Amino acid sequence: MSVRNSRLRTAVTTTAAAAGSAGLLAGALYVVHAESGSGGREASLAGDARAGRRPAGSATAQLDGRAAATAARLAERLGDRTTGAYIDSAGRPVVTVTNATDAAAVRAAGAVPKTTRRSPAELRRVTAGLRSSFADIPGTGWAVDPATSKVTVWTDASVTGARMAAVRRTAARMGTAVRMVRFPGRLHTLALGGDAIFGQGARCSLGFNVQRGQQDFFLTAGHCGNAVQNWTADQQGGQPLGTTVQSSFPGNDFALVQVEDGAAGEGEINLYNGQSQDIAQAAEAVVGQRVARSGSTTGVHTGRVLATDATVNFAEGTVSGMIQTDVCAEPGDSGGPLFAGDTALGLTSGGSGDCQSGGVTFFQPVTEALQAFDAGVT
């Protein structure tokens, strides 16, 4: 697909400078004013090449994407009879099962069945217990690990004292079904993203261009949509892009922006090396899948999916159903696209760490946003 207007290439930026007017807790947000520079935008592709990492559009990633599609399709078909699916170290789709009949069906469909050590019902009880015990403690979260049949519980550096003791007590009650992980730094939303968009003194990211009916829209993060109503392609406000029409955060983290006439673009992602990546479809992410993220602060970085259906307790509120990755992100990357080859996967939400020391980043699944808005990628 070609870009009808380069101003709307799918990787714009969202603002945290307007966090105060949005009612967000400024201490948990990266607040970046519109006049701030967006240095480092071109650093990551070269860095990934030096580190031997393949871009998410490579042939290896395309094979990985097909394995992920198979795994996701089979996991959806099994529903409550599986604890999830993942891509193993050999690049094979693995689907957890609870009985021999399902194992045979998974094998016949070209995937590897793995009998789960804990039942899906048991793991659901564990996550329900976690939600009722410390969903109100910022800097915490959890997700089911299908490879180990355990629930990974994480805490960031802000969780200390009595709050940390409460988390540990709850985890101890769950026994060996829970694995504790400590994140350095603090979990926070990342206000900014790919190609810069501006509004009300702030800067954010456009995730993906979409259509609903015959009208053009784009997706960005919900914490961006909450803060900004009118978006422009320039800091001075002379190039209108669109208007936020729906926004959901916390709970979810997605927003829908209707674009101005003549400002619509096709579904391409800025790779910050003079090239772009076509987006032809949207899909669910799968644990172990190779992915890439584009953002205005750090350019393109790659990594793997660590978990799906993750719950994250930000200072601003809880967001559930998230994609967890080891792809780094920094202030300015919020709202930007997560993708694998030509497949849209998610919208950058928040995380911990940076692109010098590494980190963990969470993404809103794009499929949920498309369903909520009755829209499709263009």
State the catalytic residues: 223, 253, 334
- Residue in 149, 198, 244, 180 with CA at minimum distance from that of residue 38: 198
Which residue type, as a one-letter code, is found at position 356? Q
Distances in whole angstroms, Cα of residue 168 to Cα of each of 164, 180, 213, 320, 326: 6, 8, 49, 21, 24
Task: Report the helix count and the strand count for the chain, using DSSP H and E.
Answer: 8, 25
Beta strand spans in 104-194 (E)? 112-115, 140-145, 150-155, 178-182, 188-189
Give the three-state DSSP class for 363: strand
Helices 120-134 and 161-174, axial angle in degrees (round to 10): 160
Buried/exposed 223-236: b ≥16 CB within 10 Å, e otherwise: bbbbbbeebbbebe
Cis peptide leading into residue 250 (ω within 30°): yes
Instruction: Kindly report the number of other CB atoms within 10 A of residue 31's CB atom.
Output: 17
* Host H or E run for residue 330: none
Q: Give the integer Cα–Cα distance in Å for 115 and 210.
A: 39
Token couple for 132: 């009722």
- Residue in 348, 366, 304 with CA at minimum distance from that of residue 61: 304
Q: Give the integer Cα–Cα distance in Å for 71 and 201.
A: 43
Q: Give the integer Cα–Cα distance in Å for 177 and 150.
A: 5
Instruction: Kindly report the number of other CB atoms within 10 A of residue 83's CB atom.
Output: 29
Q: Give the integer Cα–Cα distance in Å for 54 and 65.
A: 13
